[in-house]
Amino acid sequence: MPATLWTNARVVTADGSIDRAPQPGALEVLTQDRRIVAVGPGLARAGHTIVDCGGRLLTPAPVDCHTHIVFGGDRAVEFEMRLDGVPYTQIAAEGGGIKASMRATRAMSVDALVAASLPRLDHLLAEGTCTVEIKSGYGLSVAAELTMLRAARALAQARRVRVCTTWLAAHALPPEYEGRPDAYIAEVAIAGLQAAHAEGLVDAVDSFCEGIAFTPAQLAPLYDRAKALGLPVKIHSEQLSHLGGTAFACAYGALSADHLEHATAADAQAMAASGTVAVLLPGAFYALRETVLPPVAAFRAAGVPMALATDCNPGTSPLTSILLTMNMGATLFRMTVAECLLGITAHAARALGLQDVTGRIAPGLAADMALWDVETPAQLVARIGFNPLHARIYQGELVA
Ligand code: DI6
Ligand code: FE
């Protein structure tokens, strides 16, 4: 394959700091055979296909490192209940929330789940995203959790996108295991993980560590098994309360701890020590009208990389915009523009263990890039309900 030289762009490499006002033509990018082969000024032109980027902003393609886009049904009725003042925890305790999505998801085949999820995936891709993490967690039986991850793998065939799958059977306790959380972890979360792993369906293992879900003690056997299988782990922790899930997961070298509104400075220290990324999810914070902010200053002080993701799910974050996610990271969490952009690129890739695969414009990495009709990163983050994507470039090819 001939190489392609991407010229006349304002290139944001996301390799370290973010240039506030990158100059057009200061850097060029050479891609070949799906990868970036060189980045620099004045690269040789002979024999290459030249793409004039028209002075536009060229960034690494967004990585959405935390989503639940595969699910059945709709929970807008719960949105109306919350408007009437019913809290999320009460809706969940009364059989709504994750269990409502479980009932709808269990009724669906792989094909039906793919059809239901494709519009959500397409919204993500329309903003340049080239990598999407997809969790199970609405099946809550071995069979239905496997069906969800088969649908996630099928989505990767239906579109030009990299999909990472995450086993999240430990998301909620289904009614048939009421009062028997340890049996659920053994018979569904662990037994199902074995089966899913054997089928090549699992890239990482996750859980919901929360008062309405599971405690660290209940989750330990699952994380031990993940470790024995050589699978990386993540966790939903300290979202609604402080249950200690973050420190627990750090002891397993977790790739990421996600949500973290109630995390402490000690949690930040533990994350720094284990190289765990803080995945912040402002869509859920916004939708639940949370008031406790994640400890961004403590993450900065400890040197914990912060990522941002949509957490796209039918209840607490019905959000399919990575651009709005950045805007919320800035406005709600007071992250800087550079932190927001790193949060959906290099740091999001790290949260998936893909830091050497995608998320930066650097030689050796996949040529996953987004070309935007703006001049500066701040213009990407500042506006609301505005999609300036000019082109999505997945593995060196213009795909949107
Ligand atoms: N935390 C969340 O925000 C979602 N899952 C989780 O563990 C909520 C999922 C839902 O309400 O459907
Ligand atoms: Fe989530």
Burial class (CB in 10 A: 0-12, 13-18, 19+), 111: exposed
Indicate if ligand 1 lies below 6 Å from the C-beta of 245: no
- In the numeric block, which tokens belong to residue 41? 């000024």
Q: What is the pLDDT of residue 16?
A: 85
> What is the CATH architecture assignment of 4-60+359-399?
Roll (2.30)
User: Which pTM was predicted?
Assistant: 0.98
d(CA 64, CA 309): 5
Give the largest CA-CA distance in the chain: 69
Indicate if ligand 1 lies below 6 Å from the C-beta of 236: yes
Q: What number of other Cβ atoms are within 10 A of residue 77's Cβ? A: 10
From the CA of 287, the nearest ligand is 1
Indicate if ligand 1 lies below 6 Å from the C-beta of 327: no
What is the best residue among 66, 207, 219, 236 to mutate for testing ligand 1's pocket, by most ligand atoms within 8 Å of CB? 236
Q: Which atom of ligand 1 is nearest to the CA of 284?
A: 3
Task: Say how many Å lie between the CA of residue 210 and the centre of ligand 1.
Answer: 11
Indicate if ligand 1 lies below 6 Å from the C-beta of 315: yes
Provide the angle, in degrees to the nearest 10, between the axes of the packed helices 142-158 and 98-106.
80
Q: What is the mean pLDDT of the chain?
A: 97
For residues 205 and 233, is the Cβ–Cβ distance under 8 A?
yes
Q: What is the pLDDT of residue 196?
A: 98
Position 1 pLDDT exceeds 90: no
CA angle 374, 15, 257 (to 5 degrees): 100
What is the best residue among 81, 168, 208 to mutate for testing ligand 1's pocket, by most ligand atoms within 8 Å of CB? 208
Task: Say how many Å lie between the CA of residue 138 and the centre of ligand 2.
Answer: 11
Strand partners, 259: 237
Please name the helix (run of DSSP H) or strand (run of DSSP E) that holds residue 307, with its range, or none.
Answer: strand 306-308
Q: What is 63-351's CATH number?
A: 3.20.20.140
- Band (pLDDT 50/70/90 cuts) for residue 247 is very high
Mean pLDDT of 31-60: 96
Task: Say how many Å lie between the CA of residue 146 and the centre of ligand 1.
Answer: 19
Indicate if ligand 1 lies below 6 Å from the C-beta of 396: no
- Tell me, what DSSP letter sits at residue 299? H
Mean pLDDT of 225-229: 98
Q: What is the pLDDT of residue 202?
A: 98
**Residue 337, phi then psi, degrees to nearest 5:** -60, -45
d(CA 361, CA 344): 13
Position 370 pLDDT exceeds 80: yes
- Tokens 């090819």 map to which residue? 397
Indicate if ligand 1 lies below 6 Å from the C-beta of 314: yes
Strand duo 256-259 + 277-280: pairing: parallel
Cα 103 to Cα 87, 109, 152, 372, 379, distances in angstroms: 21, 13, 19, 40, 42
- Look at residue 116 and give its three-state secondary structure: helix
Position 181 pLDDT exceeds 90: yes
d(CA 49, CA 170): 49
For residues 238 and 269, is the Cβ–Cβ distance under 8 A?
no
- Tell me, what DSSP letter sits at residue 304? -
What is the best residue among 75, 77, 98 to mutate for testing ligand 1's pocket, by most ligand atoms within 8 Å of CB? 98
| Least trusted range by pLDDT, from 83-92, 109-118, 216-225 | 83-92
Indicate if ligand 1 lies below 6 Å from the C-beta of 133: no
d(CA 299, CA 109): 41
For residues 382 and 338, is the Cβ–Cβ distance under 8 A?
no
The percentage of residues in the chain with a pLDDT greater than 90, rounded to a whole number, is: 98
Single-letter amino acid, residue 123: H
Residue ranges per domain, the chain? 4-60+359-399, 63-351
Closest CA to 327 of 381, 259, 290: 381
pLDDT tens profile 90-149: 999 998 999 999 999 999 999 999 999 999 999 999 999 999 999 999 999 999 999 999
- Tokens 């002979």 map to which residue? 46
Q: What is the pLDDT of residue 224?
A: 98
Closest C-alpha to ligand 1, atom 4: 316
Position 352 pLDDT exceeds 80: yes
Please name the helix (run of DSSP H) or strand (run of DSSP E) that holds residue 78, with its range, or none.
Answer: helix 76-83
Position 298 pLDDT exceeds 80: yes
Indicate if ligand 1 lies below 6 Å from the C-beta of 208: yes
Indicate if ligand 1 lies below 6 Å from the C-beta of 72: no
Indicate if ligand 1 lies below 6 Å from the C-beta of 316: yes
d(CA 125, CA 395): 14
DSSP state string for 223-261: HHHHHHTT--BEEEESSSS--SHHHHHHTTT-SEEEE-T
